């Protein structure tokens, strides 16, 4: 399986930041893993010109409908049209800020498949849920509800992102990451059989150059979804090199 280093720029990035992509393409355009950057939608088209097929681009959300009266929203086909190959769905910031449910994420994932995009579906427990010992219950419920029945290794990537580790500088222990990733693989295998072996499982939450190597060595970790450290080509490049 080809590993994946995915960067989520969140609501960061202006035209001036396209230079980071030029550096990434120059230094990691032939990386041994797939490299995906998900910028704000405003930068997709200019970034596509710079990425020149050397790195993949993705959106950070899409609407479940293909078009229509949905002011401020963006469709999967629009992302594809602007140069995206993937879209992040169900990020905890979307779930918290916009009240997205597992059913919403599943509907958006179907829209992504319909447009020919890979859905990068995010799940993860809050700190209170981890402290209560319900991490596997919570992530299991999210997996069951957010991942459509038509998911395949080609159209779906799952990102395990503990909410308490996002942007905090805190990470789970390697044993805790392994426990959830092994659980995700087993759960997906029960539902999707052999296909589950090829589904890439990313870890996300405060990944940085200094911890990437040890996290990538954990069982069933097939790459990372990186927020803050994806904004600078030097940091993200070091994470790509660790994969
Ligand atoms: C994220 O937003 O998906 C993320 C993992 O953020 P950070 O790497 O900054 O914790």
Which residues are catalytic, by number?
91, 161
- Ligand 1, atom 4, lies closest to the CA of 227
The torsion defined by the Cα of 112, 115, 118 and 120, in degrees rounded to 10, comes to -20
Consecutive 10-residue averages of pLDDT for the chain (243 residues): 97 96 95 97 96 94 98 98 98 98 98 98 98 98 98 98 97 98 98 98 98 98 98 98 96
CA distance 148 to 226: 24
Ligand 1: which of 39, 97, 206 to mutate, judged by most atoms within 8 Å of the beta carbon? Answer: 206
What domains are defined for the chain?
4-242 (3.20.20.70)
User: 80 a known binding residue?
Assistant: no
Q: How far is the CA of 69 from the centre of ligand 1 (A)?
A: 31
Answer yes or no: pTM beyond 0.95: yes
pLDDT tens digit string along 55-90? Answer: 999 999 999 999 999 999 999 999 999 999 999 999
CA distance 188 to 243: 23
Which residues are registered as beta bridge partners of 203? 160, 224
User: 8 a known binding residue?
Assistant: yes
CA distance 107 to 39: 22
- Ligand 1, atom 2, lies closest to the CA of 227
């Amino acid at each position: 399986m080809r590993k994946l280093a995915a960067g989520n720029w969140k609501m960061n990035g202006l035209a001036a930041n396209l230079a980071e992509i030029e550096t990434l393409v120059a230094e990691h355009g032939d990386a041994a893993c797939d490299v995906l950057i998900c910028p704000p939608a405003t930068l997709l088209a200019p970034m596509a010109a710079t990425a020149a097929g050397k790195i993949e681009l993705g959106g950070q959300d899409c609407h479940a409908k293909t078009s229509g009266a949905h002011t401020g929203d963006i469709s999967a086909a629009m992302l594809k049209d602007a140069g995206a190959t993937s879209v992040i769905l169900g990020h905890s910031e979307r779930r918290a800020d916009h009240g997205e449910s597992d059913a919403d994420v599943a509907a958006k994932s179907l829209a992504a498949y319909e447009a020919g995009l890979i859905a990068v579906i995010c799940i993860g427990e809050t700190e209170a849920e981890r402290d209560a010992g319900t991490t596997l219950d919570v992530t299991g419920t999210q997996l069951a509800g957010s991942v459509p029945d038509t998911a395949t290794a080609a159209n779906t990537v799952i990102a395990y992102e503990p909410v308490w580790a996002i942007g905090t500088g805190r990470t789970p222990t390697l044993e805790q990451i392994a426990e959830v990733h092994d659980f995700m693989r087993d759960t997906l295998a029960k539902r999707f059989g052999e296909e589950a072996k090829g589904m890439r499982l990313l870890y996300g939450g405060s990944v940085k150059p200094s911890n990437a190597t040890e996290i990538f060595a954990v069982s069933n970790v097939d790459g990372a979804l990186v927020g803050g450290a994806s904004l600078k080509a030097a940091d993200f490049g070091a994470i790509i090199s660790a994969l």
